[in-house]
Amino acid sequence: MVKGFSDNEVKNNAQIKETKKEQKGLAGFLKGKKFTYTLPGKKQINIFGSIVLGLNLILILLVILYLKNQEFHDFVFNVGR
């Protein structure tokens, strides 16, 4: 016989089922629900892409303004206190 293995299988499925607790809260609510993920359409991709590019462009312009314009630099420095 190989060490660590037994010829007699122990069956304790009943104990495992008894120790399983009923799920409560959000897990219990979502237990029977099925969620499906759908890929975004072309229009939605274009909208989000435009928003991201627009915000990046605004950020770049503000950084350039911060570095080149001393009055804007002082404004940001004083507001950040």
- Whether pTM exceeds 0.75: no
Q: How far lies 2's CA from each of 5, 7, 9, 62, 63, in Å?
A: 6, 10, 15, 72, 70
pLDDT tier, 17 (very low <50, low <70, confident <90, very high otherwise): low
pLDDT value of position 21: 63
- pLDDT tens string 32-79: 777 777 888 999 999 999 999 999 999 999 999 999 999 999 999 999
